[in-house]
Structure formats: C-alpha cells, structure tokens
Structure 1
Amino acid sequence: MRPSPRIVAALAVLPLALTACGGGGSSGPSAAPSVADASADNRAVKGGGTLNVALNADPDALDPSTSTTLVGREVFANMCEKLYDIDAASELVPQLATALPEVSEDGKEVTIKLRDGVKFNDGTPFDAEAVKKSLDRHRTWEKSSRQADLEAISKVEAVDATTVKLTLKRAFTPLTAQLADRAGMIMSPKALDSAGDNFGTAPVCVGPFTFASRTSGSQIVLDKAPDYYDAAKVKLDKLVYKIIVDPNVRAANLKSGDVQVADQLATTTVAGVQAGPNLKVVAGGGLGYYGLQINIGNATGSTDKPGPVDSALAKSPELREAFELALDREQINKTVYNGLHEVDCFPVPVDSPYRTPDLQCPKRDVAKAKQLVQASGVPTPIPVKLTSPNDATNQRLAQVIQQMTKEAGFAVTVETAEFVSTLEQGKSGDFQAMLSGWSGRVDPDGNLTNLVTGQGSNNYAGMADPGIDDPIKQAAAAQDTAERAELYSKAMKRAAELRGVVYLYHNKYYLGMSKNVAGVQYFKDGLPRYATAGFVA
C-alpha cells in the first residue's frame, strides 16, 4: 500500500512511519488539535525569507513519472503543478487547466483547456505539446509508475496551443482525479529531452518554487521561481526541506527554531508541540487508511494469477472474521495513537460523497471470535506471522494486535523488517499478514482499483472476486455520484466479507508550525502548500 524513503518498483505503499511517524513520547490519549486546517490562518505575511521544513523521510527520485512516496508528493506540491488540484473542501479544481474537462456523451473523449502564457521554471513555454509529451511519458514509459493511473487513455492529441484532447478506451470518470496527482504533473520538454531518464535529478516543472539542489539524506532546496505565472503571490525566497527521520528529533528541531515547520508529527509528540508558546499544530489528511493485509491468494506475486496460500487465515474466512472481531479499533487508536486518527473499517472516508451510510463497522466481540475459532477445528493457539516495518509505532501496533488476538485463540508472531523489505515481501506474497497503508485519493477509485481488484499491483492480499472487481469497474464508467456510491458500497461489502484487508483507521496528519508562519494550505491530501506562505508581517 504506500511509500517509503526509497523507491520500490511501481509500488505505492505507505508505511506507518510515513503516515503517523510514531515512536517515543507519552502513551495516554490527548485532544486533537483545535485548528481544522491551516487555511483558516489568513494573516498577512511579508516578502522574503527562507522557510525550513522538516520532512519525515528522504523522497525517492523527484520524477513525477516514477515517484512512489508521499514525502515526494509533499515536495512536488510546491514545484510541479498539475492539470488539476483539490481545494480545502476536497473538490477538484483547475490548476494548469482553465476548467474541468469537457467530456463527450459516451465518456470516451475528454477535452482540456490550458492556461495561456505560462512558462516552465526554465523559461520554456507551457503548451498543449508539452502536456502531450508528459502524459505520453507517464502512460507509456516502461519505468513509469503512472501507467495504471492513465491506462484508460489510448491517445493524447494537441488540438491547438491551449487545447488537449484525450481519447479513452472506455469511459473513466476518475480520470480528472488522476490528473490532480502525479499523473497530471507536466514537465518541461526541454528538460526531458536533455535529462531523459535522469529528469528526477534536476526536475523542471511549472510551480511557485524551482528545484535548486539536493543532498541525499540531508536536504532539498527550492528557490522562488521567477517565471511562475502568479509569482506576485509567492512571498518566500527559498524553501529548504531538511530530512529528519526520528519523530522526536523532528519535534525538538521545531521547538528549538532550527526548522519553522515539521511535517507528519508523531501522534505522541503532538501535545508537546501544542504546549510550546510559540508553536501551533494544524491537521490535514484523512483520505488514506492504515490496517493489515491478510494473504489469501497471493501465491506467486501480486500481479500474477491468485493461487492457494498455505496458512490457517488464508484457508478460512471464518478465522479471518474471528481475527478481526478480536480487534478493538477504538482502543488501538487510543493506545497507539493518542486517539488522533479516525477509526474505520472501510477504505473510503466516512464523509466522502461516495460512502453510503449503511457501511458500518463491527464492534469487538471476543466471545464470537472464540466460537468461530473453536468451530474451525484448527488446534489452538492458531499461529499467525505478522510482518511489520521496524519503526517504533508499527512495532507498538503489532504488539497490541498480538495481545488482542491472543484472547481469541491466535498466537501472533511479529516479524519486523526494513520497510522496503516488507514491500518486497508484500509484492511477492511472502507473508501471512502484514501492516500496511495507503495515503489516499479524493476519488474512491484511487483507494480501490489497484489495491483490492484482481492482479492489482498493490493487491498484496491476492483478492480476486467478481463481486469486488465488477462493481468497481462499473463505478469507474458511471458519472452519477449516487450510482457510483452504491457500486462502491457493493464492492466494499464483498471485500469486507473476504477480509483480505482489515482496515483500522484513516490517517490524520499533523503539521507543526512556528506561530510566526502563516499562509500555509493543508488539505485532506496531507500535502502542505507553501505558495502563499511566509513570515508574519
């Protein structure tokens, strides 16, 4: 499910270390930050200055075609604009486009109007040919991780300088949402021609800031972009991203003033940062999720045909139900995360317009779990190997799961590894159960298709069921929101019966900031935007 500090083939899986950033601190629950989002702070900011931002990991290559990390998306948000974006209400809005796409009646022709007079950060003109070049690279380059995002496109045409027409193989309503992420990032054709496969070492896009330098494992420097079409609104001279992996050190650097912003605070450090007289915490995120995958059919690889898996959980849906019933999501949230995430058992957020109200979560029921275990006839305690990334918070989560399921008759053995290794195990099917998560997309297709449908590259559980695949495919072709919601509901209910993924919560992200910083935008995608940020005048 989503990324690590290093790239792993075409994966898009995110460790808890990159979502909640746990480790250390107090274990008792604390109140969620009172500020819902940073956009509420509209204080005037002065021009100039350098904003130092602590990142919780070192991004992979800064190439929109190959990037797979959430932390990479954080950097892109300030130097690589997309055809579309989301706003504070999680609505899709034009960015490099001038309006939402015009779609033909059969849904197979999509016309996009582009901004005129825009330049890339190397001075190259932005036009339809540049858009075509980037989209074709995203969807056809063998090294691209965007191929699945744009698979529905069969042809890209530059109609004129400010118009692009996309011809689709089939109607695909989620396309606009895909173009509001890395698949919609447009790169300088001049830079692509000169750098080729090495574009990520010195990326050039349209954006408020332009890439200046990178020191691996240390920092990434962005300068204010002089050719940006809305340069007057950009106040900062420079953004310096400092890589500070340890969550306690990240919080300490914020408190000392060495950095003025710290991303993805550990839930255990939120209260301490809030207590600082010159600091504040704002909340974002919520589109993604975290939980555990149970291998039920990934015998030889997530993109191969499913096959039999030799484990008690894989063979018995009833045992998987018992395993889930032994878990107390509310208690996990309080014990591991100080109550700062949003408990849920489905991949689509509760407040999504694509979420039907009949999707409800089971409460913990140890008595029923024991009955299911006894009825299975499998000798107890039933052994389960749980693979976990080796950061402190994931290990704590694994231990809580271990203790809860023990009461129902399971004997969970926790096996930890570097996050990259857990991804490799997930993709190859070399696991029984594994902690993993996904950073989330505004359209539910982005939380489902590649993660729970047959042979999806991130479908580590190996689920392959027409009751999941068919309604998801139908929903992608439908345009009515209510119709799509019903179809997604049908698919998610079936997936909940199979329990290849046991969802635990939706990730909330917490951004720590100096009180003299304003103008930051922080939405449900968890990507801090600094185009209008600066120091208070």
Structure 2
Amino acid sequence: MSKKPRTQLAAPAIGDTTRRRPFGARRALVAVSAAVLTTTLLAACGSASSDSGSGGEAGVLNIANAADIPAYDPVVLGPTGATQTLSLVYESLFTLDEQGEIQPALATEYTFNETGTQLTLTLREGLTFQDGTPLDAEAVAYHLERGRTQENSALKPAYHQIKSVQAVDATHVQIDLKQADFGFPLVLANRSALIASKAAAEKDLKALNANEPVGAGPFKVVKVVPGASITLEKWDGYWDADNIHVDKVKVSLGTDPATVLSGLQTGVYNFVPGLAPQNLETAKSSGLKVVADTSANWVASFVNINRQLAPFDNPQVVEAFNAAIDRDALVKTLTFGLGDATANPVPPTNPAFNPAIDEEVGFDPEKAKQLLEESGAKDLSFKIHVFPTMTAPAEQLQQQLEAVGFDVEIVAEDTTSFYPGYYGKTQQAALYGYVGRDNKLLSLDEHFSEAGILNLSASEDPAYTAAREQVLKTPLDDPAYKTRLRAASKAGVETGSTVFLYTTPTVSATSADVSDFPKTDGIFRWNGITVG
C-alpha cells in the first residue's frame, strides 16, 4: 500500500492561535430562526427537569439543555444538541480545531493510498473504554460497521462511501471506500465518529441506547434520570485526562427556556449551549459570557422546492421564486439581528461559502413578476409544509411570494405528518433548516445529490455531479480543495432544489467563572475548560 499522501496530526497547544485552513460543519437539525430553534423547537423535545443541581461549585459544570436525550447510542442519535452532550461520554476518532483543521483524538494519523480509495487509521496504543475493555482496531471497525449497516443507524448517510472496514492489527484500521474520497477523514471527526464500547453494544444494545452509555470520553456517567438529568464524573482513563479540569458535570434535560436566563444569573446553571437570542443583551449586561458566532455553531434556514412537481418543474418559476424573496427583511424580523441574509448553504466562516452565489441572487420583485409572465405557467399555487412553531416565518415568506403572483398555502404539521411527505419527496415545498455536516462535501450532498436527505426533488444535476467529483479526488491539504468545494456549492445552488434564506449563530452562555470554550464548529471540546 502506498503511503502517500500521509497526514501526521499533532495535538495543538491550548490557546494556540496558529492559522490553519478553515473547515467546519455540523449535522442536520430542524430550524428556521434562532428564536424558534432555542425557545420553541428544542423545548418541545422534553419536559422541565426537577434535578438541576446547584451552581457555583468549583470544578462542577451545570449545563441547562432545552432538549431531552432521545438516545444514548451515538450510532442512533440524530440531533446536534444531543450529540454535543454525548461528547461528554464519547470521544471521536479525530476532532477539529478552531480553524477547522483535523486534529488527533483516539486516532493520531490517517494515510491514504495513491488513488484515495483506501484509508488507514492509526490509533493510540493502550486505549480502553470506560468499562475497561480494549478500544482497539477491532472495536473501531465494529463501531464503523454498526454505523454503516445497523437498521436504525443515523450515520448511514455519512458512511455511505464505506465499502468495507477491517482491523489490520491492534492499532490500525483499514477502510476501503467505494470511490476516491480524500475528504472522508472529516466524517471521522466530531459527531460522526463518537466511538461506543464494543462489549457494551454486544452485551445489551438496547441498554446502551436507553440510558447506559459507555464510551471513552472525558466523563463517565454515574446517574441518569430519564427525561430529567445526567450526572457525570471525570474519567481518569481518558487519553487526555491531564487536560480535563472539570471534576463533575450535571446536565439538566428539558429545561424551560423561559427560566434559563434567571438560572444562569442565580448560579443554578453555569453553561447554556442554546440561549434564546432575545436574551442575549440581557445576559451580557448581567456579566455573563455570551458567544454568538457562526464559527462555533450555526443554523442555515431554507425552503425546499420540488422540481418534479408543478409549478417548480418550470425553471423560470424557480428563478422567479428566488428573486421574490427579501432575505434582508426576513433576517431583520426573525433573527434578532443575529442572522446573515445569504443564498449560500453555509455561513461565511465555512469553506464551502461562495461569495459569487450572493452576487448572482438578489431581491428583485419586478424581475420575479416578469419571469412568471414569461414562464407561461398558468397555475402558480402551491403548498408549503412547516412545523406549527414555524408559521410566523412562513407567513412572512408567503407575503413576499404572493406579492409577485404566487398563491401560497401554509400547511402546519406535527412531525408525524411532516416527515413522511418530506422524506417521501411528495411535498411541493417545505420550510426547513440544518446545521451542516463535519464533511463539507456531505453538507452539500444532503441538498444536491440524488440521495440527499434534504433534496426534495430526489434528482441530481450533471453540473453538480461533475463539480463534486472534482472535490472527491482532491486531498484536503491541496490548495485546490477549497476552490473546488466552492465551485460545487455554486453548482448545487444554481441547479438544486434548495433555496437558502439566511444563516444564524446558535447562542451559548456561561457564567464568568467558566473559561472560554474553543470555537469548534459543531461540537464542544471539554479539554482545557476550567470552572471557578
């Protein structure tokens, strides 16, 4: 096997500000506005906790989580906020630094063959899980196979490039890919490669998923109160245990967003990963530390349209749809001033962001009217499907579209009603949102590839296919990688069925005695954090 190209990863020093090429993305999550995301959508995922714990304890992190944890097996788990919580228990193969560069975690190195179709990982020696069983190549291969084949796996889209995986020896894992994909190591960073104990999964997979997580992360679970709280303590067997300065973590689940700010102010909590944006200024004036930065956490809001169904099977109608949208007005009304109006699938901090997209797409209602007239479309009526909590943004969008000649009906549905039509690709249009993927091309594929879960048309344009093939065969450290990634982004937006509206940062807040978290896109890293 050829040893080129080869990437040796060195752990960055805490506080290292060396510039590296930016990479960063996260997983899908229903969202339309920052306010909806933090105050309504996530709150609906659980009930108020009765075990919040007391704040102000040195070495204790008290986290207020608006959502419940629907699953504890990282192979099964979906929502981003939940996997961020599970990163307390589980560690990933690689991680990302603040510039988005791949850094070592459980694995220290990856090596590709010349064609980019075979990837070999090197693991740290002597690793174990929290149950004392070995975290070796066999355990990693087992986990990746579960992610690729398990019926209820949420990782299948991320692992779809894997053809086979095997343990070469105790510290080397060989992954054979279906085609060249030099960006695949990004799939193995952060949320897509949180490794669970092989022994625990084999013993009782249901228990692992229900409330008995066993990983190799910095903290070990000591108590789970389903739907209410998780209590964890520092695990000395963690590979970077010397850099973990928090002794205990208490996570309150299903916390009422209306009480979170007062909880921070009074010391009940000292970390809130999802603060309602309308509370941002009050939090700052209270002496709390607030982060609202897309380089750390972000949400992209968009409208999916189905190009297989009228009226969107007419290209001029699609172009008119885009020109009818006043993104600046949506941002002003819906994001409390935090959003960025953009037709890009990602924020400017992401390497897939292409400024040329926004230069081509702009609000022009007169152009929209002319395009509709020239299109010859006789019926411009359609239904846009939304969650009930998102009717306000849908109504504003409805007003903009009807001002140029569309006839829009808003259909508010719960998850049981919404998802069959969305994933079944039978809806004409849907208002939705996501927070990306660790692999930047996969972020685009979810929208623009034929199998993309967010592609309502279930079709792929040849222009996007050609552009993504260029990205796949380009190593991450090649200067052409970013250029080709941006070209794929542009091709997707121009030919795909997703109309992007704006991006917003997800707001987090801590008390003053909690040290700054690294701005790592998509996950919280606990290494180096101090309390008190």
Normalised-by-shorter TM-score class = 0.7 to 0.9
Counterpart of 2:305 in structure 1 is 294
The number of residue pairs the alignment matches comes to: 486
Question: Are positions 1:62 and 2:59 aligned together?
Answer: no
In structure 1, what is the Cα distance between the partners aligned to 2:281 and 2:470? 45
For residue 450 of structure 2, what is the amino acid of its counterpart? G
In structure 1, what is the Cα distance between the partners aligned to 2:192 and 2:28? 17
Question: Are positions 1:129 and 2:128 aligned together?
Answer: no
Counterpart of 1:342 in structure 2 is 340
In structure 2, what is the Cα distance between the partners aligned to 1:169 and 1:464? 19
In structure 1, what is the Cα distance between the partners aligned to 2:111 and 2:37? 44
In structure 2, what is the Cα distance between the partners aligned to 1:519 and 1:23? 21
Question: Are positions 1:16 and 2:27 aligned together?
Answer: no
Q: Deviations over 1:122-159 (max 9, x none)?
A: 12222222112212221222322222322322232322
Shift of 1:510: 0.9
Counterpart of 1:371 in structure 2 is 370
Q: How does 1:274-423 map to 2 (within 5 A)?
A: 274-276=284-286, 278-286=287-295, 288-297=299-308, 309=309, 311-312=310-311, 314-361=312-359, 362-378=361-377, 382-391=380-389, 394-419=390-415, 421-423=417-419
Counterpart of 1:154 in structure 2 is 163
In structure 1, what is the Cα distance between the partners aligned to 2:414 and 2:32? 11
Shift of 1:499: 4.9
Q: Deviations over 1:27-82 (max 9, x none)?
A: xxxxxxxxxxxxxxxxxxx9954322112322321211111111121112222111
For residue 510 of structure 1, what is the amino acid of its counterpart? V
In structure 2, what is the Cα distance between the partners aligned to 1:472 and 1:116? 36
Specify the SS of the correspondent of 1:53: strand
Moved more, 487-496 or 217-226: 487-496
Aligned counterpart in structure 2 of residue 515 of structure 1, from 508, 512, 515:
512
In structure 2, what is the Cα distance between the partners aligned to 1:17 and 1:198? 34
Q: Deviations over 1:174-229 (max 9, x none)?
A: 21000003432222122112112442221111111112333333223322223223
Aligned counterpart in structure 2 of residue 251 of structure 1, from 246, 249, 261:
261
Does the Cα contact within 8 Å between 2:93 and 2:189 map onto a contact in 1? yes
Shift of 1:487: 4.0
Counterpart of 1:139 in structure 2 is 148
For residue 259 of structure 1, what is the amino acid of its counterpart? Y
Question: Are positions 1:205 and 2:215 aligned together?
Answer: yes
Specify the SS of the correspondent of 1:268: helix
Q: Deviations over 1:318-375 (max 9, x none)?
A: 1222222121212211211022123321224434444455333422111111112222
- Taking structure 1 as reference, are residues 254 and 83 closer, same or farther at Cα in structure 2, changes over 3 Å only? same
Does the Cα contact within 8 Å between 2:294 and 2:347 map onto a contact in 1? no
Specify the SS of the correspondent of 1:190: helix
For residue 290 of structure 1, what is the amino acid of its counterpart? S
For residue 318 of structure 1, what is the amino acid of its counterpart? Q
Shift of 1:401: 0.8
Stretches of structure 1 that go unaligned for 5 or more consecutive residues are 1-11, 26-45, 298-308
In structure 1, what is the Cα distance between the partners aligned to 2:182 and 2:429? 33
In structure 1, what is the Cα distance between the partners aligned to 2:38 and 2:139? 44
- Taking structure 1 as reference, are residues 503 and 371 closer, same or farther at Cα in structure 2, changes over 3 Å only? same
In structure 2, what is the Cα distance between the partners aligned to 1:355 and 1:387? 27
Counterpart of 1:33 in structure 2 is none
Does the Cα contact within 8 Å between 2:302 and 2:433 map onto a contact in 1? yes
Task: Give the TM-score, by structure 2 length.
Answer: 0.84
Does the Cα contact within 8 Å between 1:322 and 1:370 map onto a contact in 2? yes
- Taking structure 1 as reference, are residues 217 and 207 closer, same or farther at Cα in structure 2, changes over 3 Å only? same
Specify the SS of the correspondent of 2:357: coil
Specify the SS of the correspondent of 1:154: strand
Counterpart of 2:460 in structure 1 is 464
Does the Cα contact within 8 Å between 2:34 and 2:335 map onto a contact in 1? no
In structure 1, what is the Cα distance between the partners aligned to 2:250 and 2:77? 20
Specify the SS of the correspondent of 1:135: helix
Task: Give the TM-score, by structure 1 length.
Answer: 0.83
Moved more, 482-491 or 249-258: 482-491
Question: Are positions 1:505 and 2:502 aligned together?
Answer: yes
- Taking structure 1 as reference, are residues 246 and 435 closer, same or farther at Cα in structure 2, changes over 3 Å only? farther
- Taking structure 1 as reference, are residues 482 and 504 closer, same or farther at Cα in structure 2, changes over 3 Å only? farther
In structure 1, what is the Cα distance between the partners aligned to 2:201 and 2:39? 43
In structure 2, what is the Cα distance between the partners aligned to 1:91 and 1:102? 16
Specify the SS of the correspondent of 1:454: coil
For residue 268 of structure 1, what is the amino acid of its counterpart? Q
Aligned counterpart in structure 2 of residue 222 of structure 1, from 207, 229, 232:
232
Aligned counterpart in structure 2 of residue 185 of structure 1, from 194, 197, 210:
194
Does the Cα contact within 8 Å between 1:173 and 1:477 map onto a contact in 2? yes
Counterpart of 1:433 in structure 2 is 429
- Taking structure 1 as reference, are residues 109 and 188 closer, same or farther at Cα in structure 2, changes over 3 Å only? same
Does the Cα contact within 8 Å between 2:306 and 2:425 map onto a contact in 1? yes
Specify the SS of the correspondent of 1:518: coil
In structure 1, what is the Cα distance between the partners aligned to 2:317 and 2:354? 27
In structure 2, what is the Cα distance between the partners aligned to 1:190 and 1:57? 29
Shift of 1:245: 5.7
In structure 2, what is the Cα distance between the partners aligned to 1:324 and 1:226? 54
Computed over aligned residues only, the root mean square deviation of the Cα atoms, in angstroms, reads: 2.7
In structure 1, what is the Cα distance between the partners aligned to 2:377 and 2:163? 51
- Taking structure 1 as reference, are residues 268 and 519 closer, same or farther at Cα in structure 2, changes over 3 Å only? closer
In structure 2, what is the Cα distance between the partners aligned to 1:372 and 1:193? 59
Question: Are positions 1:493 and 2:504 aligned together?
Answer: no
Counterpart of 1:37 in structure 2 is none
Does the Cα contact within 8 Å between 1:325 and 1:368 map onto a contact in 2? yes
Counterpart of 1:424 in structure 2 is 420
In structure 1, what is the Cα distance between the partners aligned to 2:89 and 2:33? 21
For residue 216 of structure 1, what is the amino acid of its counterpart? P
